[in-house]
A and B are shown apart, each in its own frame.
Chain A
Amino acid sequence: MIDVQAVRRDFPVLDQMVNGRPLVYLDSAATAQKPRVVIETVERYYAEYNANVHRAIHALGERATIRYEEARRKVARFINAPEPETVIFVKNATEAINLVAYSWARNNLAEGDEIVVSPIEHHSNLVPWQLAAKATGARLRFFEVTEDGRIRTDNLDDVITERTKLVAVTHASNVLGTIVPVKEIAYAARRKGAVVLVDGAQSTPHMPVDVQALGCDFFAFSGHKMLGPTGVGVLWGRRELLENMEPFLGGGDMISSVSLTESRWADLPYKFEAGTPNIAAVIGLGAAVDYLTGLGMENVHAHEQQLVQYAMAELRKVPGLTIYGPEHRGGLVTFNLEDIHPHDLATILNEEGIAIRAGHHCAEPVMRWLGVPATARASFYVYNTEEDVDRLVAGLHTAREFFGHVAGK
């Protein structure tokens, strides 16, 4: 198990007062806090060996390149990618998905083809496919969802058909917490010859991920949600698909030769890494991967499971509180409290030093499906404790009293 108190000491940001109370950070699904080792790794790059990668014939450049490529191997091991060259560094999960939507989808889809997406996607795994559909004449089709927010898998063969060329689905919902049975979906998709992209932004930070066992073709995630710096994300793809794709961005570092009228592309992964990358963030992500591996992803998952079950039980005791999503879920709880608007709730909790998310969570279709304009969300990570949950529950009681009192309800 995880020694939470020891973990908390690794995160300098947690040691502070907000509005006179110790900070309770419950917004890790938006972005995670960073352990000291990640912060120091970024600082050391800038302080000791700042140089461009893959170009410089000098000591600093050599060291930067070694650390950059070392991070790629760490990430590959972390998600069990068959080879590091199939791990491509991008800006974030959004860019990873857009890379596939441009470089693969626009060259492989045509009128009559179907893209199957789930209705519980983050905008980042929906809007790129709307654009790709518009550009190619392909049609969007949607998985069905159960009443508690799980993707129906008993009718996969009705949804994924011979027309389906691409299935794009999240591994874990950022709103409902739903863990999607990606393996089952990928199996059904591959039987029909469809390519499968998995949005792992909310799963990779929180559970063991094995892209080969999942059976998907593309897997996208962000570094900043898994203790790494902002500005780095990852696209993993099957080699044969990546090799047959056109580049996403043209520029330096992605070519093998250039004349005035044409160019030859560099080998993987550089074909997809045009321009100077976010070197510090990539190396920082390598440190984050080391940190998570040190804790053990099974332990991370178990810790969050324990916490979210405790939170569900405690939150259910708050009168007037509605929890959305399935019973079995990742480490987050989305809810509303009576008719208090989530913004008001977030403001009152913030006065108590508690940080939650309020709004539509970049998932407007999910809000429409729930029939609410917005929700509040508390999300957990390795540094959260049952005490944090208790503070949240106490804050909700206070908000209830305050609003009941002031609004005269």
Chain B
Amino acid sequence: MSLESNHPVRLSELYREVIMDHYRSPRNKGELPDPTVSIDLNNPTCGDEISLYLLVKDGVVQDARFSGQGCSISQASASMMTQAVKGKTVAEARDMVDRFKRMMHGDEEAGRPLGDAVALHGVSKFPVRIKCALLSWEALERSLEQLPG
């Protein structure tokens, strides 16, 4: 690929194979019929949209799905986020949001426990795209805040 050979580091750090895989075949895409909490969030400057649905029982995220539209980074990030958060306690999920944000500020180590989502660390070198990656994690953060009790 001409582009990869021109800019081997930057672009391949952004568009990693695993990111493009999540973009092409998003996991957990669709609606949850009976979510404990759901939230719509959009990025008004660029038009990215996400709806996030969480099923939380006994303090554990049993299921997570998302719908919406956006660029490869926002879609892949949503897919990775739902995958990472499933089966985690609410406290663990909160910690993951915090770790993801730290990773977007350049702390790759913080992202280690986030599963595939650690591949998004390259986004931190593209400041204008950070908001794309953050959208679904912000939706998660707000959803967790809205949980009853």
List the interface of chain A (C-beta within 8 A of B): 19-20, 341-344, 347-348, 351-352, 358-360, 364, 367, 373-374, 398-399, 401-402, 405-409
Contact = CB atoms under 8 A, between A and B. Distances in A.
A213 to B, nearest CB: 37
Interface string B122-134: 0000101100100
B71 interface: yes
Nearest to B70: A341
Given A359-B46, A402-B4, A343 B71 contact: yes
The interface centre, meaning the residue of A20, A341, A360 with most chain B CB atoms within 10 A of its CB, is: A341
Given A341-B70, A343-B73, A343-B129, A359 B20 contact: no
A358 B11 contact: no
Given A402-B3, A405-B1, A347 B14 contact: yes
A361 to B, nearest CB: 10
B3 A351 contact: yes
Given A19-B7, A358-B46, A406 B71 contact: no
A407 B46 contact: no
Given A367-B47, A407-B24, A402 B70 contact: no
A19 B126 CA distance: 13
Grouping DSSP codes into helix (H, G, I), strand (E, B) and loop, the B interface class, with mixed when no group exceeds half, is helix
A399 to B, nearest CB: 8
Interface residues of B, number: 28
B1 A343 contact: no
B3 A374 contact: no
B47 A373 contact: yes
Contacts of B48: 343, 373
Interface in B45-76: 45-49, 69-73
27 contacts: A343-B71, A343-B73, A343-B129, A344-B71, A344-B72, A347-B126, A347-B128, A347-B129, A351-B6, A358-B46, A359-B47, A360-B46, A360-B47, A367-B47, A373-B47, A373-B49, A373-B69, A374-B47, A398-B2, A398-B3, A399-B3, A401-B2, A402-B3, A402-B11, A406-B15, A406-B20, A408-B24
Contacts of B129: 343, 347
The interface centre, meaning the residue of A351, A367, A409 with most chain B CB atoms within 10 A of its CB, is: A351
Nearest to B75: A341
A122 B126 CA distance: 28
A19 B49 CA distance: 30
A407 B23 contact: yes
Contact of B45 (A351, A359, A402): A359
Contacts of A406: 15, 17, 20
Nearest to A364: B47
Contacts of A344: 15, 71-73
Interface in B12-54: 14-15, 17, 20, 23-24, 45-49
Nearest to A401: B1
A351 B129 CA distance: 13
Interface in B98-149: 126, 128-129, 132
A288 B46 CA distance: 31
The 9 lowest CB-CB distance pairs between A and B, nearest first, are: A341-B71, A343-B71, A374-B47, A359-B46, A373-B47, A360-B47, A406-B20, A402-B3, A398-B3
A373 B74 CA distance: 13
Nearest to B42: A373
Nearest to B126: A347
Given A343-B129, A401-B1, A401-B3, A374 B72 contact: no
Interface string B82-104: 00000000000000000000000
A367 B44 CA distance: 13
A12 B47 CA distance: 33
A342 B6 CA distance: 21
A348 to B, nearest CB: 7
A156 B142 CA distance: 48
Contact of A348 (B3, B46, B132): B3
A348 B128 CA distance: 13
A348 B73 contact: no
B71 A351 contact: no
Contacts of B132: 343
B2 A374 contact: no
A351 B47 contact: no
Contacts of A409: 24
A96 to B, nearest CB: 23
Contacts of A19: 7, 10
Contacts of B15: 344, 402, 406
Given A343-B132, A402-B1, 6 more contacts: A343-B70, A348-B11, A352-B6, A373-B69, A406-B15, A406-B17
Nearest to A19: B7
Contacts of A405: 1
